[in-house]
Amino acid sequence: MDIYLPAGFKMCRGIAELSNTCLERLTLDECLAWKESLGKLLSNKHGLYAFRAFLKSEFSEENLAFYLACEDYKNTKSTAKLPCKATRIYEEFIGNEAPREVNIDYETRDMTQANLNSPTTSCFDYAQYRIYILMEKDCYPRFLRSAAYRNLVNQLMAKSAKARSKKAPTTRTPCEEDKPK
């Protein structure tokens, strides 16, 4: 089973690992920005990790895996590699009895299959768009309502409050020496 991540992204094992290992670098504002859109969530490496971990916990990671595979495919530099990569993505996610089959309609499936006759970097665009919309309407709202996301926000709120209290100036009572004479 391939894991598709954009270049430069490393995989965390899940939200628990994210909250322990990556928490130092993750800010509350960054985490709250994930609520703005699925695009913001997916474009943030910590958001992507957390969302993937959530989907894994629900046994529904195939849509995100397909979306990321399409992103990787679109960034393929060598046109000679496109046919092989396209076939692999189709067989893994779209074809009959695909091991990680995504939920797309027959029209989209047929259109995508026809695109494989002459693969270009855009041959999965419509299928990817359909899956993005599906995630946006289904998985993404569930993620934002999940205990895992709420716990992460709470941890970051506590971390932020602790950091603010350390930076707050301490007030001291004036001593006799400090009083003007």
Q: Kindly state whether residue 77 falls inside one of the protein's structural domains.
A: yes
Q: Kindly state whether residue 165 falls inside one of the protein's structural domains.
A: no
Q: What is the pLDDT of residue 25?
A: 83
pLDDT more than 70, % of the chain: 79
Rounded to two decimals, what is the model's pTM?
0.78
Contact 67, 135 (CB under 8 A): yes
pLDDT in tens, 46-71: 999 999 999 999 999 999 999 999 99
Q: Kindly state whether residue 12 falls inside one of the protein's structural domains.
A: no
Contact 60, 135 (CB under 8 A): no
Q: How many domains does the chain have?
A: 1
Tokens 């009895």: give the residue.
Answer: 97
Residue 5 scores a pLDDT above 50: no
Q: What is the pLDDT of residue 93?
A: 98
pLDDT in tens, 95-121: 989 999 999 999 999 999 999 999 999
Residue 121 identity: T
**What's the domain range around 130?**
22-159
Q: Kindly state whether residue 173 falls inside one of the protein's structural domains.
A: no
Contact 103, 60 (CB under 8 A): no
Q: Kindly state whether residue 1 falls inside one of the protein's structural domains.
A: no
The CATH number for 126's domain is 1.10.167.10
Residue 36 scores a pLDDT above 50: yes
Distance between CA atoms of 38 and 64, rounded to whole angstroms? 11
Q: What is the pLDDT of residue 156?
A: 93
Q: Kindly state whether residue 103 falls inside one of the protein's structural domains.
A: yes
127-161 b/e (C-beta count within 10 Å ≥ 16 → b): bbebbbebbeeebbeebbebebbeebbebbeeeee
Q: Kindly state whether residue 5 falls inside one of the protein's structural domains.
A: no
